[in-house]
Structure 1
Amino acid sequence: MAIAQTNSQQQEKVSSEASAGEKKRWTLSDFDIGKPLGRGKFGHVYLAREKRSNHIVALKVLFKSQLQQSQVEHQLRREVEIQSHLRHPNILRLYGYFYDQKRVYLILEYAAKGELYKELQKCKYFSERRAATYVASLARALIYCHGKHVIHRDIKPENLLIGAQGELKIADFGWSVHTFNRRRTMCGTLDYLPPEMGMWLTIETK
C-alpha cells in the first residue's frame, strides 16, 4: 500500500486530536497500515497513515499475552505516561494509544531514517561535524528530560532515531522513570551499562 508524505499542518492536526484525550477514541480502523518498520520482544512496528488527517505515523503493536508473561504491564503504562507528556524536537512524540482484546497500539512519530545504530553500521563512521551535531542534540534532549525529572535509563544507538531532516530523536522510554530522588536500580542494556552502575554507585542520569 502506497503511503504519501504529509506536511507539518497535518502533524499538528493528529497531535491536537491525540491531546484531546477523552474525546478521541482511536481504533485500528482509523489507520491504513503500511510496511513493517521493525520488530521487538513484545511486538512489531508498522508504517501507518491516520485516515482523517493523512498524517504518517509509526504504529507500535504490542501483544498483551507477551507483556503479561514478562510482567511488564506497569512498565508500559509508565512509558506511555512519561513519553506522552514530553515535547522536544529531539524526543520522539507519542501521540496516543489504544487497545483491543489481544493487543496494545502506540501511535508514534515516524522517524523516516530509522535507527542511529543502523545508520552508523551503513556509514561505518560519522564525520566530526555530524557526530557533534548528534551529541549536542542528545544533550539538549536529556537536559530537557532531567528538567522534567525524567530519567531515560537506556540511552544507546538503537534507541536513537533519525528524522527525515536528519534530526536525532530519543525513543523507547520503556526503562524511564519520573522521580525527584536518586536511583540505584540496575537496569538498561548490559552492553551499554556505565561502570558506576556495575559498581552499584548512586546515579542520577543515564
Structure 2
Amino acid sequence: MSRFTGRRLPRRFAQLFVGVFLYGVGIAFIIRGAIGAAPWDVLTQGITNHVPLSFGTVTIVVSVIVLLLWIPIRQKPGFGTIVNALGVGPAADATFLVLPQPEMLWARVLFFIIGLTVLAAATGMYIGAHFGPGPRDGLMTGLHQRLGWPIWVVRTALEVTVVIIGWALGGNVGVGTVAFALLVGPLCQFFMRVFAVRPAGGEDPGRHSDTRPGPVPVTG
C-alpha cells in the first residue's frame, strides 16, 4: 500500500469519506423512489418493519453481522471496510430527514435514477481509494475464494437470498430491484475507472486488484 501514500493520501481519504456519505445518499433516493429497493436494502427495509430501529441503524447492524461472517472465510477488513460499515447507515438516515417522499410516478422514477447514479459513483469513489472493500463486497469475494465458485454465482446466490428474506419481512421488491440488478454493474464499472487512484508508478491498480471491473461490487 506504500505506493498509494504521499500526495495521493489526501485524495484517497477524501474519496473514501465522500464516497461512503454519497452511498448513503444514493440509498435514500432509491428508497424514497419506492419502485423497488436494491437487494440488501430490501432486507434492511424488511427488518425495520419488525424492530424499533431506523433504517440506518439496521444497516449498521447488518454490516456488523456480515463482517462476522468474514471470520470463517478468513477475510480481513481494511480501514475503508469499517468506515463503510459505520458510515453508510447514518448518511442514509440524515438524507431521509431532508428528502421528501414523492407521489407522482415520474418523480419516483427520477429519484430512483438519481439514487442509482449517485450510489454507483460513490462505489467507484470508495473502492478507488483502496482502503478495503465494503462488508458485502468482501463477503462476496471471500466466498468466491474459499468455495471456488464464479463471482456471478456467489453474488446471485447472496442477493437472491437477501431479497427473498427481505420480501418475506415486508421489504419493497419491485421493478426498481430488477433495474438495479441490471444497471448497477455497468455503472459501477464506469465510475471505478473514473475514480481509481493510481499508484506512484502510474499503472492502473485495477489491473492487479480486487477492485478491477471483473467482480462487480455488491451494492445496497
Sort the TM-score into its range (normalised by shorter chain): under 0.3
Which has more strand, going by share of residues? 1
TM-score, length-scaled by structure 2: 0.26
Which has more helix, going by share of residues? 2
Bigger relative contact order (CA 8 A; separation at least 6):
2
TM-score, length-scaled by structure 1: 0.27
